[in-house]
Structure formats: structure tokens, C-alpha cells
Amino acid sequence: MASLSSKVKHYCANNGVANIDFRVDVILQDDSNGQGPYIKEWNLSGVAQPTDEQLNAVDSAADLEERQSAVRAARRTAYGDLGSQLDMQYHDSVDGTTTWKDHVASVKTANPIPTE
């Protein structure tokens, strides 16, 4: 299940709003009472505050995007810093090896991006 902020982003994108400032446009709150987060304030003009049903309708797309973002973050960490990658590429060109390509392939294999 996707976070409320992800569902709100998807709902807004589906209604023509690309950017949301969660400090001004939409304010979410969690009172730590076991009820979970909710929309405290909706300040977007031209787009009605979504119902629970409308948010649930975008849950699967928002969840997929969250899972894809998590995999991309894991890949960024696993790739290592840019300097190390450039060094691998340099040594590959000098030594005739494929260390960098092999490294990238192993990271991608270990961290497949979900498609559904």
C-alpha cells in the first residue's frame, strides 16, 4: 500500500497538477492515534480534495512508483560513486577488461525494477 503523499501526488497528476508543496498546497498530518495520516488542509484551487475512494483508485500506481524509487535508490548506492565508476571505465579501456560493464550488470540483476 502506497503512502498518502504518493497517492495525493498521483491523484493530482491525474488532475493536471504536476507539483505539490506539502507545506502549503496540501498538509498531511498523523496524530499518532493509530488512525494513520490524513489530509489536514487542502489548498489547491481547481482540484477538489480527493475522497478515500479516489485515493484508493491510484494506490496501485503510487505503490509501484514507490517500489521503483526504492530500487533506484538501492542501485545508486550499489553502483558506487562516480569517481570509482570512471576509474573502472579507464582501467577497462587500458586493460581490455569489462569490469565496469560487469559491475553495472550485476547491480541491475540484483536490483530489478518492478513493472507491476
> What's the confidence (pLDDT) of residue 116?
87
Taking 70 as the pLDDT cut, the residues of the chain under it are none
The answer to whether the beta carbons of residues 1 and 59 sit under 8 Å apart is: yes
d(CA 20, CA 18) in angstroms, rounded, equals 7
Q: How far is CA 22 from CA 33, 39, 54, 58, in A?
A: 21, 10, 19, 18
Check residue 79 and give its pLDDT. Answer: 97
